[in-house]
Amino acid sequence: MNTIKKLSFKELIPNSTWIRLGLIWLVVVGFTFFGHGLVNEQMNNMTAICIFGILLATIIGAAFGVVKEADELAHKLGEPYGTLILTLSIVSIEVILIAAVMLGPTDNPTIGKDSIFSVMMIIMNLVMGLCLLLGGLKFGEQEYNVQGAMAYHSMIIMLGGISMMLPNFIVGAGDGAFSTIQAIILSALVALLYAAFLYFQMTKYSHHYVQPALGKMEIRFAELQQEKMSDGAVNSQKSESNTSEIIIRSILLLGMILPIVLLSHQMAVVVDYGIQAAKLPISLGGVLIAIIVFTPESMTAVKAALNNEFQRAINLCHGAFVSTVGLTVPAVLIVGLISGKTVHFGLSGAETIMFVLTLLLSLMTFLGRRTSPIVGLMHIALFIIFMMLIFNP
């Protein structure tokens, strides 16, 4: 009779993970007790640089930990659930950081818009461009599921359009801001549309988000696995082992996210201080949040393209932006209403052009069934233009 060895708690999670978690929480405890005396508007430049370095290393380390545990859960749960867990984990971190900046000492009404727009430029141009270019150079033309890609783009056009383009063409509260009634209705509408999208993505339309070339192979593999696991006792033991690992990794996932929540306020204060001290463009705060949050997920997407799993790269990149708009817009509007902070979502003229160019290029990129490396270069060029316009508008 076949048996499956049940992995112990220590075998499931390596020591390096516990060491990383311990160091992260050591920083959290330190800043919880001593952070108020160090992080304030009276700190000098050297103190700010040191604190920023410690916080940045801790938050990025925690973000990589989130990606690692979410990736392990992805392998256990399969697509699209695995990618969805990773995306929602990362986007929740972004929402927390944006809310922390909004509630900070400095008034920054465009931080939500700057972060969402920066995520779009980074994820849909830089990261997707690298996936198209590097994956194409390694494998030639890569396949993906057109229906899934078009569903993502439909959501991006709808959610991005009503949240960032509409404000400039309505009366609202003026200067690209929604009125109170508009903010309540639009935040509820965006949240409902995103929830409906997730429902269809996880239920009867989940096959739209699976690599098409692997569909039959995965079905056959599952059938072979079922034949091998015909003994009921073995099935039960395997299920119990998987459930235990899923629970442990879910707890670790939360353990990695919580430090980012607890350190977000100090990070926001230091970022505000640095931007003002160096006289940098205020929109750079949104770019910095996007880079900090999405670097681990971006690396995962590029690795997926290099493993010839291009649909997973699409799920990560486009799913990240849909989740960013679907969660960030309602959260920022609600925080603004509760705290009385002004929120401006309207894009500038140059940002509107970049937004439309990115949408049109992305639609042309994914109208067919195979990728093209040259289009990846076009996406990267758009990202370079975006960065140029921040420092030289």
**Angle between helical axes of 15-38 and 232-277 (0-180°, round to 10):** 30
Closest CA to 114 of 390, 391, 356, 385: 390
- CA distances for 333 relative to 112, 193, 291, angstroms: 9, 16, 22
Dmax of the chain from CA atoms?
73
pLDDT tens for each residue of 206-224: 888 888 755 444 445 444 4
Would you say 123 and 298 are in contact if contact means Cβ atoms under 8 Å apart?
Answer: yes
Tokens of 207: 């096959």
| Segment of 40-44, 55-59, 65-69, 130-134 carrying the highest mean pLDDT | 130-134
- The string of pLDDT tens digits covering residues 3-53 is 444 555 555 677 778 888 889 899 888 888 877 777 766 677 788 888 888
Between 391 and 237, name the one with better pLDDT: 391
The whole-angstrom distance between residue 382's C-alpha and the CA centroid of its chain comes to: 20
| Residue 101 in this model has a pLDDT that exceeds 90 | no
Cα gap 49→45, rounded to integer Å = 6
Tell me the average pLDDT across 361-374: 90
Q: Domains in the chain, start-ordered, CATH in brackets?
A: 9-391 (1.20.1420.30)
pLDDT digits (tens, 9 = 90+) for 282-332: 778 778 777 777 777 788 889 889 999 899 899 888 988 898 889 889 988
User: What's the pTM?
Assistant: 0.77
pLDDT 10s digits, 127-153: 999 999 999 999 888 989 999 999 999
Answer yes or no: is pLDDT of 375 > 90: yes
Query: Average pLDDT of the chain?
Result: 81
Of 125-139, 155-169, 256-270, 361-375, where does mean pLDDT reach its minimum?
256-270
Q: What is the pLDDT of residue 182?
A: 93
The residues with which 174 forms a beta bridge, in sequence order, are 177
> Is the predicted pLDDT of residue 195 greater than 50, yes or no?
yes
Is residue 2 predicted with pLDDT exceeding 60? no
